[in-house]
Amino acid sequence: MSYDKISVPENGEQITYDEEADELNVPDDPIIPIIHGDGIGKDVGPAAQKVLEAAANATGRNIEWMRVYAGESAREKYDENLPDDTVEAIKEFNVAIKGPLTTPVGAGFRSLNVALRKTLDLYANVRPTYHLDGVPSPVKNPSAMDMVTFRENTEDVYAGIEWEAGTDEVQQVKEFVEEEMGYDSTIHDGPVGIGVKPITEFGSKRLVREAIDYAIENDRDSVTLVHKGNIMKFTEGAFRDWGYEVAEEEYSEDVITEDTLWDEYDGEAPEGKLVVKDRIADNMLQQQLTRTSDYDVIATMNLNGDYMSDAAGAQIGGLGIAPGANFGESRCLAEPVHGSAPKHAGKDKANPTAMILSGRLMLEYMGWKDAGKLVRDAVEETISSGQVTYDLERQIEGGTKLSTSEYAEAVVERIEELA
């Protein structure tokens, strides 16, 4: 494959996917595409790159970075938001990392993040939320949180099927809903915007499968299906039903449902069994705060997952440290939970931890568990020694405020000491 808008590094090898064995072949010097991102992406992107490179070097490997462009940097260079070359490169090289991209509210283009996730069919957005020692938190016992959220990435109200008020299209949809489908006094008169919320059996089941596989592989206690099926019965309710179907039909050896747990085992899970349960989203948001340790792996739809993981991120110290990654068949695009925080852009002050720890998820996906552990340990030691960026420094006593780049250097030094 040749690219007009990307220079492929001369050194390094491609990560490939062996379809028959269903596994990635990861060389010791992989080429990895990176989008630094908009706003604070300019600060946190290069910082994460340095730290991940140090962890690779410390474990006898090397990363050959390949800069690819999206958002502002693509507009400046190529006068387009998302060049095809960027999407193709992420497809071809299988594993990549990106910083945040700005999405204008209301007018303008649709979200590039959503476009990337949909085009690359990155159907699971995975957000681990655990507390790092030394990070200030607004709750009494932040270490009770050790949750991994699997958020469906390609459906729900995020699918982008919506029509603007005042257009012929919205009028046609309104008439169809009222006249053909019989909802004649449901939508108020006057200007209306209408969106569609598709939730499919296919999309729900593959997401729940991912969550259950992860829970089994990582020896987790439970998977909770989070939905608002009491109100949206045929979309969110169907997600819950399909989720239980997967659990009962495909994992009957490994899984027990919460109902069976109480009916037959008095609430005590038998050794080695994964409990599958469900919670209504609003209840879940309060239980996440009040009964934190009851929740482990979460499987949910796009919008619930977005709200839940930001709220969970706040519980363990805020967006500056909350990592994420998007997974599809044989493909990973790591990205922090936070956005481009334009107010702080280009000031060398934003916290790069979220992007660094997103990179850790990418390293683990590549099978570089030792490098991933080094990254986590070095970040934790740096923060608990009080060397932090402005967002954490203002919340702890006696901390030292570092710039983005100084903090990245401090983490690199720890990696070198720990290796």
Q: Site for ligand NAD (CB under 6 A): which residue of 153, 340, 358, 387?
A: 340
Strands 124-130 and 95-98 turn out to be unpaired
- The reply to whether 393 sits near ligand NAD by the rule CB under 6 A is no
- The reply to whether 358 sits near ligand NAD by the rule CB under 6 A is no
Q: Is 11 exposed, middle or buried (0-12, 13-18, 19+ CB in 10 A)?
A: exposed
> What is the closest distance, in whole angstroms, from the C-beta atom of residue 215 to ligand NAD in the complex?
25
Kindly give, in sequence order, each residue whose CB lies less than 8 Å from that of residue 48, ignoring residues fewer than 6 positions away.
97, 99, 352, 355, 356, 358, 359, 408
Closer residue to ligand NAD in complex, CB, 24/70: 70
- The reply to whether 235 sits near ligand NAD by the rule CB under 6 A is no
Closer residue to ligand NAD in complex, CB, 188/343: 343
- The reply to whether 122 sits near ligand NAD by the rule CB under 6 A is no
Q: Site for ligand NAD (CB under 6 A): which residue of 35, 40, 66, 388?
A: 40
- The reply to whether 101 sits near ligand NAD by the rule CB under 6 A is yes
Q: Site for ligand NAD (CB under 6 A): which residue of 33, 100, 305, 372?
A: 100
- The reply to whether 379 sits near ligand NAD by the rule CB under 6 A is no
Transcribe 67-97 into DSSP letters.
E---THHHHHHHSSSS-HHHHHHHHHH-EEE
> What is the closest distance, in whole angstroms, from the C-beta atom of residue 250 to ligand NAD in the complex?
31
Q: Which residues are catalytic?
A: 158, 228, 282, 306
Q: Where are the alpha helices (DSSP H) in 302-352?
A: 302-315
Q: Site for ligand NAD (CB under 6 A): which residue of 49, 86, 222, 351?
A: 351
Tokens of 245: 């179907």
Closer residue to ligand NAD in complex, CB, 173/312: 312
Contact range with ligand NAD by CB under 6 A, out of 27-35, 56-64, 213-221, 339-347: 339-347
In angstroms, the CA 383 to CA 408 distance is 11
In angstroms, the CA 256 to CA 273 distance is 6
Q: Site for ligand NAD (CB under 6 A): which residue of 14, 25, 57, 103?
A: 103
- The reply to whether 399 sits near ligand NAD by the rule CB under 6 A is no
In angstroms, the CA 264 to CA 390 distance is 52
In 244-261, which positions are buried (b, 16+ CB within 10 angstroms) versus exposed (e)? bebbeeebeeebbebeeb
Task: Give which of 111, 123, 196, 199 is closest to 154, Cα–Cα.
Answer: 123
In angstroms, the CA 187 to CA 210 distance is 38
- The reply to whether 236 sits near ligand NAD by the rule CB under 6 A is no
- The reply to whether 153 sits near ligand NAD by the rule CB under 6 A is no
Closer residue to ligand NAD in complex, CB, 73/340: 340
Closer residue to ligand NAD in complex, CB, 243/317: 317
- The reply to whether 335 sits near ligand NAD by the rule CB under 6 A is yes
Contact range with ligand NAD by CB under 6 A, out of 83-91, 99-107, 253-261, 366-374: 99-107
> What is the closest distance, in whole angstroms, from the C-beta atom of residue 319 to ligand NAD in the complex?
4
- The reply to whether 350 sits near ligand NAD by the rule CB under 6 A is yes
In angstroms, the CA 403 to CA 419 distance is 24
Q: Site for ligand NAD (CB under 6 A): which residue of 319, 325, 362, 363?
A: 319
- The reply to whether 54 sits near ligand NAD by the rule CB under 6 A is no
Question: At 251, phi and psi to the nearest 5?
Answer: -130, 35
Closer residue to ligand NAD in complex, CB, 284/319: 319
Neighbours of 310 (CB within 10 A): 16
SS3 category, 299: strand
> What is the closest distance, in whole angstroms, from the C-beta atom of residue 225 to ligand NAD in the complex?
24
DSSP 46: H
Closer residue to ligand NAD in complex, CB, 392/412: 392
> What is the closest distance, in whole angstroms, from the C-beta atom of residue 401 to ligand NAD in the complex?
12
Handedness of CA 42, 48, 54, 56 (dihedral sign): negative
SS3 category, 279: strand
State the residues that interact with ligand NAD by CB under 6 A.
40, 44, 100-103, 113, 319-320, 335, 338-341, 343, 350-351, 354, 391
